[in-house]
Amino acid sequence: MTDVSPTELTLEEKASLTSGRDFWTTKPIERVRVPSIMMTDGPHGLRKQSAASDHLGLAQSVPATCFPPAVGLGSSFDPELAERVGVALGTESALEDVAVILGPGVNIKRSPLCGRNFEYFSEDPIVSGVMGAGLVRGIQSRGVGASLKHFAANNQETDRLRVSSDVDPRPLREIYLRGFQRVVEDAQPWTVMCSYNRINGVYASEDPWLLTSVLRGEWGFEGLVVSDWGAVNDRVAGVVAGLDLEMPSSGGRTDAQLVAAVKDGSLDEAAVDLAAGRVLDLVRKAGARPAASGVLDVDAHHALAREAAGRSIVLLKNDGDILPLDRSQRIAVIGAFAAEPRFQGAGSSLINPTRVDAALDAIRAAADGEVAYAAGFTFDGSGDADALRAEAVAAAASAERVVLFLGLPAAEESEGFDRTHIDLPAAQLALVDEVVTANPNVVVVLSNGGVVALPFAERVPAILEGWLLGQAGGSATADVLFGDVNPSAKLTETIPLRLEDTPSYGSFPGEFGHVRYGEGLLVGYRGFDAAGKDVAFPFGHGLSYTRFSYGDAAAEVTETGDVLVRVDVTNTGDVAGREIVQVYSSMPGSAVQRAPRELKSFLSVALEPGETRTAELIVRRSDLAYWDIRVDGWVVEPGEYVFEAAASSRDIRSSVALELTGDEVRPPLSRESSIGELLENPATASIIGPAITAMFGDDAGMIKMMASFPIGRLAAFPNAPVSEQQLDELIAAGNA
């Protein structure tokens, strides 16, 4: 493609660039040799449709490696692993001549009920941002663009094309936008996909504050904004706001609207130039990648998918070290998920995998002896439940160890709708009871995209949270069961005891087009901790086949103003393992609302038996800032912060306090400012202080009571110590 600039194009040609040609490609302009480029889903594999495109995958897509969805990969807490998966995704995209792969998704898991939680990383923004940035770096290292989605505050599927996420500025900035900001600032994705929903009443697809002021102005985004498929409400408003490319095709209808708006003077042509120019930039970037040759190395990518899956499995409990299994033990495998794995979620991310490993086959291949199998239940509830259960109980009774696969059937969670409860099917819960009675040596392996309640947790000695693990999840599960892989993943979301305990309960999914983010900042573990609620398994939890001890944490401010936390970690067991060291911060004396602890940094550390390493974790100063609504900006509060080195959010191993200098905040003064606020401002304190003393004497109680009084009201009092004019001068002095 030659270097075409929007100025060489007619208005009609420019408008034509700003919407798709069909489901997946942009429009070419033959006259000036601008080619069409292709975008496809994402995020954990390539979904390039081979037959007539129909969007949601009714037509089969080309075979591609299905890597662990974000719910799994996120649990690795390892951005380098995410980057390697990204490289593989980029490679597969390049081989299929795909310019942009539609992912990662970094929306926050606000509620365990969200049907798309399997596609998102965490209830925490730092985990989401760090993992998302790793994936983007990997994808884009292959000359393929990523698409950071769904921007923003798209945290549910219910009414997702219309609902307004009504969220206050602090949680919006500190929780819901923070992960996006991290990915944009650290990895500069080629594209950002705006979400379907509205935010505080405004569609994301036509929100100039979101798409231009914040994304480009504050964060420095240089790429293109694409709509989620069908997210455009008003195309002209979208172009004005900064939505460059509408997908999929509107059949030319919205292009014509842009042309008409320019002609009737209601739309500045410069806005169309900007959008078309960004499409041209994207096409140019895509064209800069040398044509990929060769074929997909199916085996190598499957091996990477297996490694990533092994790093995604969370060992929730392991009483009496029942795991790893001994290969010579008589094993009974129970549960339909073992033979028919559920390894991905439904909707736009559905991959046509190159192959699929079933855990049952992998266990049989790894075990020395015979492995019995009973399905125990069916996914759809068909068949004779009693007979299925009886067969499973008989298999359990005659085995030494039982590996019991439970999970959510595919029909229970998907893009497009939310769950209404977090329970496993009743037939499965009944099965656990009877199996455990027949043989207590049970290892439960879970397959689920969203969190499920585990009412049997106390009654089984071991649980592996296997999430959705991608196409190699079955073999990875066997790797972990037999100890070929030592589990190291940890929970990126809390597993609650009951749905009713979750912070968003009662304000999810809203009604009549609005969902109020009533829990504010207290999302996920922040909320459980603030309320002091027990949980089944806390955020950050995950066991290993070895043990780790921590030394005393130390913290210092670096030259760049960040905080460096150092802590020695020792592998005290006798097998090699990996520990995910977490650093949380808190500020006990803070003047603003804060969660009891917030994750600020994490590191995956590999340790041989007996080895000690000093984990060095950087806490960015910017991550310590809160969003100050008085000045509409990030502020680091001065004072003493506590940094905790932890094995989970509820397993704090060592903590250290550090005094930090803060940012100076000068909230503008007005007649609405309180006496207390004027007393805090050095420019006004010297005048207002004596005036208040003149009025109220030295009565400290009285002065304290009056501190919240707006100064403008005081000036109206009969015996006011300041005149209206003096007041205006005082305010001006304070604002100078």
Active site residues per annotation: 228
Shorter beta-carbon distance to ligand BGC: residue 151 or 229 = 229
3-state secondary structure of 639: strand
Burial call 387-425: b when 16+ CB within 10 Å, e when fewer = ebbebbbebbeebebbbbbbbbbbebbbbebbbeebebb
Residues 42-101 close enough to bind ligand BGC by CB under 6 A: 42, 55
Site for ligand BGC in 656-715 (CB under 6 A): none
Q: Measure the N-to-C terminal CA separation of the chain; round to a whole number of Å.
A: 54
Residue 195 C-beta: closest distance to ligand BGC, Å = 8
545 touching ligand BGC, by CB under 6 A: no
- Name the minimum Å distance from CB 165 to ligand BGC: 15
The answer to the question of residue 102 lying near ligand BGC (CB under 6 A) is yes
CA dist 674 and 688 (Å) reads 11
Tell me: does residue 157 bind ligand BGC (CB under 6 A). Answer: no
Give yes or no for a contact between 21 and 304, defined as CB atoms under 8 angstroms apart.
no
- Closer of 107 and 504 to ligand BGC (Cβ): 107
Residue with tokens 């599927």: 157
Backbone angles phi, psi at 404, to 5 degrees: -110, 110
Total residues contacting ligand BGC by CB under 6 A comes to: 8
Least gap, CB of 39 to ligand BGC (angstroms)? 8
- Which string of x and - marks every residue 104-143 that binds ligand BGC (by CB under 6 A)? ----------------------------------------
For the chain, what is the radius of gyration of the CA atoms? 28
Site string for ligand BGC, 12-31 (x = CB under 6 A): --------------------
The answer to whether 41 contacts ligand BGC (rule: CB under 6 A) is yes
Closest approach of ligand BGC to the CB of residue 372, in Å? 41
Q: From the CB of 149, what's the least distance to ligand BGC, in Å?
A: 5
The 3 state secondary structure assigned to 690-722 is HHHHHHHCCCHHHHHHHCCCEHHHHHCCCCCCC
Closest to ligand BGC by CB, 229 or 602: 229
From the CB of 41, what's the least distance to ligand BGC, in Å?
5
As measured in angstroms, the least distance from the Cβ of 229 to ligand BGC is 4
What are the strands of the beta sheet with 39-41, ordered from one edge?
39-41, 100-102, 145-151, 191-194, 224-227
- In the complex with ligand BGC, the residue whose CB is nearer, 148 or 271, is 148
Count the Cβ atoms, other than its own, within 10 Å of residue 174. Answer: 23
Q: Count the residues in the chain.
A: 736
Collapsed DSSP state (helix, strand, coil) of residue 335: coil
Which of 229, 641 has the CB closer to ligand BGC? Answer: 229
Q: With H, G, I as helix, E, B as strand and everything else as coil, classify residue 640.
A: strand
Nearer to ligand BGC, 191 or 448 (CB): 191
d(CA 262, CA 489): 54
Please say which residue, 348 or 504, places its beta carbon nearer to ligand BGC. 348
Alpha-carbon span 252 to 16, nearest angstrom: 7
Indicate the residue type of 569: V
Instruction: Print the SS3 string covering 581-628.
Output: EEEEEECCCCCCCCCCCEEEEEEEEEECCCCEEEEEEEECHHHHCEEE
β pairing state of 100-102 and 145-151: parallel
Contact call for residue 418 and ligand BGC (CB under 6 A) = no
Q: Which residues contact 382 (CB under 8 A, 6 or more apart)?
A: none
Which are the contacts of 485, defined by CB distance < 8 A and separation ≥ 6? 310, 311, 313, 476, 479
Tokens in use for 327?
């290969």
Of residues 42 and 509, the one with the C-beta less far from ligand BGC: 42
Tell how far CA 297 is from the center of its chain. 29
Q: Using CB under 6 A, which of 149, 311, 526, 600 touches ligand BGC?
A: 149
Kindly tell me which of 228 and 412 has the beta carbon lying closer to ligand BGC. 228
Residue 149: Cβ-neighbour burial (10 angstroms; 0-12, 13-18, 19+): buried
- Phi first, then psi, for residue 706 (nearest 5°) are -80, -10
Of 48 and 541, the one with the shorter C-beta distance to ligand BGC is 48
Compute the least distance from the CB of residue 87 to ligand BGC, in Å: 21
The nearest distance, CB 22 to ligand BGC, in angstroms, is 12
Question: Nearest 10 degrees: CA dihedral of 40, 42, 45, 51?
Answer: -30
228 counts as binding ligand BGC under rule CB under 6 A: yes
Which residues, numbered 378-397, are part of the site for ligand BGC (CB under 6 A)? none
Chain residue at closest Cβ approach to ligand BGC:
348
Q: Which is nearer to ligand BGC, 111 or 348 (CB)?
A: 348
- Please list, in sequence order, all residues whose beta carbon lies within 8 angstroms of the beta carbon of residue 468, skipping any fewer than 6 positions away: 68, 69, 71, 72, 118, 342, 343, 344, 345, 447, 448, 449
**Smallest separation, CB 425 to ligand BGC (Å):** 27
Q: What mask of x and - would describe binding to ligand BGC in positions 229 to 268, judged by CB under 6 A?
A: x---------------------------------------
Q: Closest separation between CB of residue 450 and ligand BGC, Å?
A: 17
Question: Considering only residues 165, 348, 582, 673, which one is a binding residue for ligand BGC as defined by CB under 6 A?
Answer: 348
- Type of residue numbered 58: L
Residue numbers of the site for ligand BGC (CB under 6 A)?
41-42, 55, 102, 149, 228-229, 348
